[in-house]
């Protein structure tokens, strides 16, 4: 007999007390932490603690947000402040142990900031006052970097599974859907479709077997927030998934992740295993009549697998090529059964929406864009990383204040938002609000939340060539306007970058772009001209310089260009 | 090639088949498909030999053609054995903007390769990747699945040289 919810809560509190009764060291080991060398830091911490015969817990946590400062080591101990140290090397790790844990004196010169407790130490700023952390509203990322993603009890101790318990004991499926509708939540995968409406489409189907699918394909270069959530707090996604199953009458959920990303995959599996153990998945969840199963499904390397119908093809084990619609997935989906597909970020909001009510979520954001934007900042920025801000803040605020402007101090020239198909924005147009409608009107998309910034040393024609090379490489090949159109566009752009282009080339690209838009089944082909059209709109004169004057103002195009070998065989 | 070497190759082929079967049967998830089997084989062997295609087809009751169709579609599947070590250079837009091309050029030079592929001694395979997911620490390179962020050409060259000497490399920063 699995424990009931009250028992789980008290076990979780006990676990939390155990953790805070002795030194606790949290090390960021999401992709950002790993790339910065977190593994070596952990090894150093372990050997230092062993050498000193010290009892301390080392937790591999996810991404706290300031990826630019990784490896991050977050140290707390009874009666000392909790401090986050940045850019930690193995040598620094030993020094931190000595200073913070042996002498109870935080190593102020190595600190990024104080998280909480014990009052602010002289000379140590609050982490919450760091430009990148200030003004964040963390809903989906509330636990990221704070809890051990492999420990379900830490999630439960932080309001975890309380929403599921609330829904199963006091709400009907319809009431859950009502709250989601009321919240104004819209899909964060890129299309911004109202989530409540989508759930209603599936709920009306009377078929006994229905599925809910989570999309963490996330092949967008510049986007790492879905992977970030799964690495940092997989249970918030899992709880959202179980709630969506309850709300729509589905019997099983699939979390769809790209093969090779061990962090998100292992942590999601662990979360699923633990949820089964504690009766939060399987039959009679928390003693109710509701049963739900979940598992991870992997895809191979294919960007288009992130498109919802292609995703279903991949889970069925086939080539991930989009299906013709109608019928829509809510009627005929995975294995022919009615299905819903939601993005990781979308579902990760749901537990808090159910717990605090749809009105609470709808009070954040502006107009038809409710809640927060989970942004991945990368490129020529002083502070890169993962952040969650209320929708409605301006791009300028995010780029200049929160991300600290460019690393070089030069003007930000171009922003690439919402994945390669989202196109580019001029750095002069940063006064727009992060809002689905406002962004679309400006000719960009908020999409999955990736923002790549580049300073004045960037050649936009070269950047466009890179974006189109990606789209060409990743076309699944099903629709020929996309398959051959992308190749044409790349060929023309390569010619322009070699200063061999002619004025007619722009017309040629526009005509190819029109065919792609009209003749492709999915967004990859339909939006595939966006990188070129947006670049022409904002940086037309730069194309002219390449075409007419045969110069690249930044010199970037004089350097070699070796795109990868196209390995896909249609 | 199989006929020439006789018994030795037959037994190698047999051990490949055993490993493939074990990988196919050892999958954790309940939904087992052609793709999931192939990914399990890739995890086990690092590449997809013809024997694996046959085994997967038999296990999933698919045709050989169906399985090849999936193998040839996903860019991660390789139909030739890879080098002992695997180096990947990311060329996504973020990495591109902050210097991935120079990193890639240096790695090619250090390994003596004209483009993606395996070194003549079969030791190291170089591949480009569309996004390794650590964009906030670009440019990114991965060595045997360990991510290395903020790469510079000289650190990439250093990593390649160490790999050539057979040293193991953990993840981490270049600077």
pLDDT confidence of residue A523: 93
For strands A365-366 and A412-417, give the pairing.
Answer: unpaired
CB pairs under 8 A between A and B: 197
A234-256 confidence digits (pLDDT tens): 999 999 999 999 999 999 999 99
β-sheet with A450-455: strand ranges across: A385-390, A372-379, A450-455, A412-417, A424-426
Nearest CB partner across the interface for A31, out of B42, B72, B133: B133
| DSSP string across A144-191 | TTTS-TT-HHHHHHTTTTHHHHHHHHH--HHHHHHHHHHHT-B-TTTT
What pairs with residue A24 in β-bridges?
Answer: A57, A76
Contacts of B60 (CB under 8 A, 6+ apart): A317, B32, B33, B34, B37, B67
Q: What is the average per-residue pLDDT within A317-325?
A: 96
A361-371 confidence digits (pLDDT tens): 999 999 999 99
Contacts of A26 (CB under 8 A, 6+ apart): A58, A59, A61, A73, A74, A75, A76, A145, A146, A148
Q: How far apart are CA A156 and CA A5, in angstroms?
A: 10
Map tokens 């080539």 to a residue: A319
With H, G, I as helix, E, B as strand and everything else as coil, classify residue A22: coil
Contact flag B147-A34 (C-beta cutoff 8 Å): yes
Q: Inform me whether the pLDDT recorded for A569 exceeds 80.
A: no
Map tokens 């929160």 to a residue: A402
Q: How does residue B172 score in pLDDT terms, banded at 50, 70 and 90?
A: confident
Find residues 278-307 of chain A whose CB sits inside 8 Å of chain B: 295-303
Task: State the helix-helix crossing angle for B64-73 and B50-60, rounded to 10 degrees.
Answer: 120
Q: Which of A116, A37, A114 is nearest to B159 (CA)?
A: A37
Contact flag B101-A561 (C-beta cutoff 8 Å): yes
Q: How far apart are CA A211 and CA A216, in angstroms?
A: 16
What φ, ψ does residue A444 adopt, rounded to 5°?
-130, 175
What's CA A420's distance to the chain center, in Å? 15
pLDDT confidence of residue A560: 86
Q: Inform me whether the pLDDT recorded for B175 exceeds 50.
A: no
Of A22-31, A276-285, A322-331, B76-85, least confident by mean pLDDT is: B76-85
**Is A361:A371 a contact under the CB 8 Å cutoff?**
yes
- % of chain A surpassing 90 pLDDT: 91
A528-560 confidence digits (pLDDT tens): 999 999 999 999 999 999 999 999 999 999 998
pLDDT confidence of residue A570: 53
Q: Which element (helix H / strand E) includes A412?
A: strand A412-417
Contact flag A386-B136 (C-beta cutoff 8 Å): yes
Q: Which of A174, A198, A195, A176 is nearest to A186 (CA)?
A: A195
Map tokens 């960009």 to a residue: A444
Q: How does residue A321 score in pLDDT terms, banded at 50, 70 and 90?
A: very high
pLDDT confidence of residue A243: 98
Q: How far apart are CA B23 and CA A374, in angstroms?
A: 37
Q: How does residue B4 score in pLDDT terms, banded at 50, 70 and 90?
A: very low
Q: What is the average per-residue pLDDT within B86-101?
A: 93
For strands A385-390 and A372-379, give the pairing.
Answer: antiparallel
Cα–Cα distances in angstroms (integers) from residue A87 to residues A38, A72, A90, A109, B156, in the given order: 10, 6, 10, 12, 20
Q: How far apart are CA B4 and CA B2, in angstroms?
A: 6
Contact flag A223-B137 (C-beta cutoff 8 Å): no
What average pLDDT does chain A have?
A: 95
What's CA A307's distance to the chain center, in Å? 16
pLDDT confidence of residue A124: 85
Q: Inform me whether the pLDDT recorded for A117 exceeds 80.
A: no
What's CA B2's distance to the chain center, in Å? 24
Of A153-157, A441-445, B103-107, B159-163, least confident by mean pLDDT is: A441-445
Q: How far apart are CA A478 and CA A520, in angstroms?
A: 9
Residue A72, chain B, CB below 8 Å: the answer is: no
Residue A193, chain B, CB below 8 Å: the answer is: no
pLDDT confidence of residue A237: 98
pTM of the model: 0.95
Q: Which of A527, A535, A479, A485 is nearest to A508 (CA)?
A: A485
Q: What is the average per-residue pLDDT within B139-159?
A: 94
pLDDT confidence of residue B13: 74
Q: How does residue A118 score in pLDDT terms, banded at 50, 70 and 90?
A: low
Q: Inform me whether the pLDDT recorded for B14 exceeds 90.
A: no
| DSSP string across A94-139 | HHHIIIIIIS----GGGEEEEEESS-PPTT--BGGGSTTTTT---S
Q: What is the average per-residue pLDDT within A88-105?
A: 95
Q: Inform me whether the pLDDT recorded for A293 exceeds 70.
A: yes
Q: What is the average per-residue pLDDT within A201-213?
A: 97
Q: How far apart are CA A546 and CA A539, in angstroms?
A: 11
Residue A316, chain B, CB below 8 Å: the answer is: yes
What average pLDDT does chain B have?
A: 90
A258-268 confidence digits (pLDDT tens): 999 999 999 99
Contact flag B128-A564 (C-beta cutoff 8 Å): yes
Q: What is the average per-residue pLDDT within B53-64?
A: 98
Q: How far apart are CA A297 and CA B140, in angstroms?
A: 26
Of A72-81, A280-289, B33-42, least confident by mean pLDDT is: A72-81
A212-233 confidence digits (pLDDT tens): 999 999 988 999 999 999 999 9
A483-506 confidence digits (pLDDT tens): 999 999 999 999 999 999 998 999
Q: Which of A14, A336, A23, A70 is nearest to A228 (CA)?
A: A70
Contacts of A408 (CB under 8 A, 6+ apart): A380, A455, A457
Residue A416, chain B, CB below 8 Å: the answer is: yes
Show contacts of A96-100: CB within 8 Å, 24+ apart.
A97/A45, A97/A48, A97/A49, A97/A52, A97/A54, A98/A48, A100/A75
Contact flag B97-A379 (C-beta cutoff 8 Å): yes
Q: How far apart are CA B156 and CA B168, in angstroms?
A: 14
**Is A416:A454 a contact under the CB 8 Å cutoff?**
yes
Task: State the helix-helix crossing angle for B100-111 and B153-164, rounded to 10 degrees.
Answer: 30
Q: Which of A41, A317, A376, A386 to mutate to test the interface with B (most CBs of B within 10 A)?
A: A317
Contact flag B73-A319 (C-beta cutoff 8 Å): yes
Q: Inform me whether the pLDDT recorded for A120 exceeds 60.
A: no
Contact flag A36-B74 (C-beta cutoff 8 Å): no
What's CA A160's distance to the chain center, in Å? 20
> Prior bond to B105 cis, omega within 30?
no
**Alpha helices (H) in A363-422, listed in sequence order:** 395-396
User: Tokens in use for A155?
Assistant: 């999630």
Map tokens 């650190």 to a residue: B155
């Amino acid at each position: 007999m699995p424990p009931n919810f009250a028992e789980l809560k008290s076990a979780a509190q006990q676990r939390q007390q155990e953790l805070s009764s002795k030194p606790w060291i949290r090390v960021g080991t999401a992709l950002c932490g790993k790339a910065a060398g977190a593994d070596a830091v952990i090894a150093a911490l372990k050997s230092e603690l062993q050498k000193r015969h010290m009892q301390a817990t080392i937790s591999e946590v996810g991404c706290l947000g300031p990826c630019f400062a990784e490896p991050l080591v977050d140290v707390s101990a009874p009666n000392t402040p909790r401090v986050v140290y940045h850019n930690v090397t193995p040598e620094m790790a030993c020094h931190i142990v000595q200073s913070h844990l042996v002498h109870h004196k935080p190593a102020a010169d190595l600190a990024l900031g104080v998280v909480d407790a014990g009052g602010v130490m002289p000379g140590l700023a609050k982490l919450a006052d760091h430009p990148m952390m200030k003004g964040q509203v963390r809903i989906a990322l509330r636990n990221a970097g704070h809890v051990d993603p492999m420990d379900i009890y830490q999630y439960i101790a932080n309001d975890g599974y309380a929403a599921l318990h609330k829904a199963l004991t006091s709400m009907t499926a319809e009431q859950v859907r009502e709250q989601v509708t009321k919240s104004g939540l819209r899909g964060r995968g890129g299309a911004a479709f109202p989530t409540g409406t989508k759930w209603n489409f599936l709920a009306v189907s009377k078929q006994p077997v229905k599925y809910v699918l989570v999309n963490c394909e996330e092949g967008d270069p510049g986007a790492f927030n879905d992977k970030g959530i799964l690495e940092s707090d997989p249970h918030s996604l899992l709880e959202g998934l179980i709630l969506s199953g309850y709300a729509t009458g589905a019997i099983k959920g699939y979390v769809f992740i790209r093969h090779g990303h061990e962090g998100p995959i292992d942590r999601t599996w662990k979360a699923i295993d633990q949820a089964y153990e504690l009766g939060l998945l399987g039959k009679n969840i928390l003693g109710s009549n509701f049963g739900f199963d979940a598992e991870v499904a992997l895809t191979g390397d294919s960007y288009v697998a992130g498109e919802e119908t292609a995703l279903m093809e991949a889970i069925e084990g086939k080539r991930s090529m989009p299906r013709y619609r109608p019928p829509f997935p809510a009627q005929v989906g995975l294995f022919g059964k009615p299905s819903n597909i939601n993005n990781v970020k979308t579902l990760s909001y749901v537990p808090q929406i159910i717990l605090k009510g749809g009105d609470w979520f709808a009070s954040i954001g502006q107009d038809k864009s409710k809640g927060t934007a989970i942004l991945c900042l990368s490129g020529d920025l002083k502070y890169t990383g993962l952040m969650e801000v209320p929708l409605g803040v301006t791009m300028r605020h995010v780029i200049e204040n929160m991300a600290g402007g460019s690393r070089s101090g030069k003007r930000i020239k171009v922003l690439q938002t919402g994945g390669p198909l989202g196109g580019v924005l001029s750095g002069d147009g940063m006064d727009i609000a992060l809002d689905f409608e406002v962004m679309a009107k400006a000719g960009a998309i908020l999409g999955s939340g990736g923002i790549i910034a580049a300073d004045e040393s960037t050649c936009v024609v070269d950047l466009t060539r890179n974006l189109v090379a990606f789209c060409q490489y990743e076309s699944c090949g099903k629709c020929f306007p996309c398959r051959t159109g992308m190749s044409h566009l790349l060929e023309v752009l390569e010619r322009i970058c070699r200063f061999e282009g002619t004025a007619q080339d722009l017309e040629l690209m526009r005509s190819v772009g029109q065919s792609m838009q009209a003749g492709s089944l999915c967004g990859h082909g339909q939006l595939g001209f966006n990188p070129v059209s947006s670049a022409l709109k904002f940086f037309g004169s730069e194309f002219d310089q390449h075409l007419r004057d045969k110069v690249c103002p930044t010199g970037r195009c004089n350097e070699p260009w070796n795109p990868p070998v196209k390995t896909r065989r249609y | 090639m199989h006929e020439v070497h006789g018994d030795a190759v037959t037994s190698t082929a047999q051990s490949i088949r055993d490993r493939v079967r074990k990988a196919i049967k050892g999958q954790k998830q309940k939904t087992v498909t052609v793709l999931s089997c192939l990914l399990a084989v890739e995890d086990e062997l690092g590449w997809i030999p013809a024997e694996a295609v046959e085994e997967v087809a038999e296990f999933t009751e698919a045709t050989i053609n169906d399985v090849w169709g999936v193998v040839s579609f996903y860019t991660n599947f390789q139909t030739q054995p890879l080098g002992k070590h695997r180096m990947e250079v990311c060329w996504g837009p973020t990495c591109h903007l902050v210097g991935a091309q120079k990193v890639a050029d240096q790695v090619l030079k250090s390994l003596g390769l004209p483009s993606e592929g395996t070194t003549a001694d079969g030791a190291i395979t170089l591949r480009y990747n569309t996004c390794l997911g650590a964009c906030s620490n670009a440019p990114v390179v991965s060595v045997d699945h360990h991510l290395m962020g903020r790469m510079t050409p000289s650190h990439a060259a250093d990593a390649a040289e160490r790999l050539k000497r057979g040293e193991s490399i953990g993840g981490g920063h270049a600077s």
